[in-house]
Amino acid sequence: MKALNNKERRKANWRFIAMFSATMLLLFGCSFFVLRIAHKGVKVLEEKHDVYTEAFKNQAFITFKIEDIIDKIYSLKNVDRTINQQKHLQGIISNIRIEIEDLIAKEETSLKEFELYEQLLEQISVIQTSIDLFEKDEESYRFSQKQLERCREKYRIEKLYEGNIKEKELEK
C-alpha cells in the first residue's frame, strides 16, 4: 500500500533535511567563529596579564628602592657624617635614583602608572640638592664659626697682653 501523498511527503522530507542541514551548518559555523574569537580573546588577556604582572613587579621593585632612598636620606639628614661619607651616600642615592629612572624609561605601557614615581624621583632630586646646599652652608658656617673663635682668642690674648703692659707701666 502506497500513500496517496507520497510525492508531498518526499518533498516535505527533503525540505526538512535541507532546513535541518542549513540550521546545523549555521550552528556549527557560528560555534566555530565564537570559539575562534574566544581563543583570540584569551591570547589578548594572557598578554595583558603578563604586561600587568611585569608592571606590578616593577612597581613593587621601584617602591622598595624608593623606601631605601628615603631611609638613606633620613640617615643623611640625621646622622653626623664626614664630607666624604656625605658625598658617598649622596652618590649611592643618585645611583639608585638613576637606576629607577632607567627602569621607568624602559617600561613600555600605554598607562601612566609610573607618573607618580617620576614625580617622587623629581622630589628626591630636589631634596638631594637641598641637602647638598645645606651641607655647603653648614660647612661655611662652621668655618666662619672657627674663624670667629680664633679672632676672639686672639683678641683676648691681645687685651691680656695690653693689660699686662699697662700694669707693668703703672708699677714703674
Tens of pLDDT, residues 105-140: 877 666 677 777 888 888 888 888 887 778 777 778
Q: Residue 22's pLDDT is what?
A: 97
Tens of pLDDT, residues 52-81: 888 888 888 888 998 998 888 888 777 777
Q: Residue 172's pLDDT is what?
A: 63
Res 168 pLDDT > 90: no
Res 152 pLDDT > 90: no
CB burial of 68-87 (b: ≥16 within 10 Å; e: otherwise) equals ebeebbeebeeeeeeeeebe
Tens of pLDDT, residues 14-51: 999 999 999 999 999 999 999 999 999 999 999 999 98
Res 3 pLDDT > 90: no
Mean pLDDT computed over 3-7: 79
Q: Specify whether the CB–CB gap between 49 and 41 falls below 8 A.
A: no
